[in-house]
Amino acid sequence: MSAGTAGTILAGGHSRRMGQDKSHLPFGGTTLLAWVIQRVALACRPVIVVARVASDYPDCGATVVGDQWPDAGPLGGLYTGLSTVENAWAVVLACDLPFVEPALLAGLTGLAPGWDAVVPVISGRLQPLCAVYHRAVAQTAETMLRRGDRSMRQLLSQPGLRVRQVSEQELRVWDPELRSFTNINTPEDYERARDMLTRSAPA
């Protein structure tokens, strides 16, 4: 297996609340997906994108693979990503987190030895789509998918799976304002994110 941590970005969602594929939305002079890839690449190598149709994302700056479990939600994307990478560990990240901090991804990775998953907890809720997983978790995901269970949170409660929950206090060491967890689901979220980006740009 390769050393270091791979980055796996899930771009296969239907974006129903946005009304269009949000990964193609303009952001920071590029697309939202390409922007997130650039952020993840500062902490992870290689970076791959899991998509329903790989050809939908040419020249995005990362290797794109087709989802092996299309329409199975993020769990199918996680399975595909972990099955694809050769690294022992992989960040699994939704494509709609434009402010993800590379330092946070590196920090989560540093906690990973001895665990199967390292998962942030924000306001009492697990954040399975900004987390680090051992590639062996793909086997657990496949078992769930074959029985029709697509819940990411159910994945994290499977017997025998060692999950390290990371508190907000710990997360703030790497991301004081927890901006990494600002996601874009609706047009309103998108406008707020663009405003945040404008405010944070150097004068």
Q: What integer pLDDT is reported at residue 13 of this predicted model?
A: 66
Q: What integer pLDDT is reported at residue 203 of this predicted model?
A: 42
C-alpha–C-alpha distance, residues 106 and 91, integer Å: 9
Q: Is the peptide bond before 187 cis (omega within 30 degrees of 0)?
A: no
Q: What integer pLDDT is reported at residue 56 of this predicted model?
A: 87
What pTM was estimated for this model as a whole? 0.93
Q: What integer pLDDT is reported at residue 19 of this predicted model?
A: 65
Block means of pLDDT (10 residues each) for the chain, 203 residues, are 82 69 92 96 96 88 93 94 96 97 97 97 97 98 96 94 98 98 93 91 53
CATH architecture of structural domain 5-200: Alpha-Beta Complex (3.90)
Cβ atoms of residues 133 and 157 within 8 Å: no
